[in-house]
Structure 1
Amino acid sequence: MSITLHGTGDRRSHLELGRRGEDLAAAFLRESGLVVLSRNWRCREGELDIVATDRTTLIVCEVKTCSGTGFGEPAEAVTQEKMARIRRITGHWLSAFHLGWCPIRFDVIAVDYPPDGAPSLRHIPGAF
């Protein structure tokens, strides 16, 4: 089965593109020495794409994937409202896993997955 990842506006294509970007981001984090604790963790307020740790800091990663920059860079899609929601959801994650205070860093991973080329990834540590 083949899924087109661009140009159709098809929801399944969009979800597949996002999943591929998150897979690439998780692999990148692991190769960078981080331990991925959760992927696509959900609560009533929303979802955290990736929660990882370097064994001293909890790292919450928002992954944005696109197949081109016609609508701007992927990282530009992380608005102030989205940042505030991710912070609130992180509080729910900490409660769910019974963790007290710990250092937390919020990163953005922007993945460009062009239709006719190799994907590229840009990691922005401490993005917000």
Structure 2
Amino acid sequence: MNQKGSTAEEWAAQFLQQQGLTLIARNYRCRFGEIDAIARDGTTLIFMEVRWRQRTSSLLIESIDARKQRCWWLTAQHYLARHGLPAHCRFDVLLLEGSHCHLRHWLQNVELGAFSRGSY
């Protein structure tokens, strides 16, 4: 990961904790892919994707293509199976922009597949 990506993920981790979430893992990797952050909100487990761009761009959302969504889903399933956790979870996306990681959007409980249908 490059330095800017690392900075964005660090900002995201701090932001999630400020929102009252408990950060469980960062950069969880398995053979299917990677999840940037995993957090808990009460009894809900959140699988978080962090997207950052230096300049404002609508391409932040489009960059989460069908392949990435499939990897995200499989990696989450791997995490749940490995840790024996309940399947009550959601997928969130933090969209950041600018050199200071300005929060553009926090998409909560996204439906995988919705990106390609233009729902966001």
Interval containing the TM-score (normalised by the shorter chain) = 0.7 to 0.9
Q: What letter matches 1:74 in structure 2?
A: L
More strand by share: 2
| Contact 2:56/2:98, CA 8 A, preserved across alignment | no
Shift of 1:24: 0.9
Q: Which residue of 1 aligns with 2:50?
A: 63
Q: Give 1:50's aligned residue.
A: 37
Q: What is the CA RMSD across the aligned residues, in angstroms?
A: 1.6
| CA distances 1:36-86 after superposition (whole Å, capped 9, x unpaired) | 10100111111110000112111000011111135x342321112211210
Partner of 2:69: 83
TM-score (norm 1): 0.78
Question: Identity over aligned residues, as a percent?
Answer: 32
**Moved >6 Å (runs of 4+):** none
Which of 78, 98, 101 is the equivalent residue of 1:92?
78
Counterpart of 1:24? 11
The residue number in structure 2 matching 1:103 is 88
Instruction: Please say if residues 58 and 104 of structure 1, whose CA atoms lie closer than 8 Å, have aligned partners that are also in contact.
Output: yes
In 2: Cα distance, 1:88 partner to 1:119 partner: 28
TM-score by length of 2: 0.83
Query: What is the one-letter code of the residue matched to 2:62?
Result: E
Kept in 1, the 8 Å contact 2:80–2:87? The answer is no
Letter matched to residue 41 of structure 1: Y
Contiguous gaps of at least 5 residues in structure 2: 112-120
Rounded to whole Å, the distance in 1 between the matches of 2:59 and 2:8 is 14
Question: Does structure 1 residue 37 correspond to structure 2 residue 21?
Answer: no
Structure 1 residue runs without a partner (length 5+): 1-13
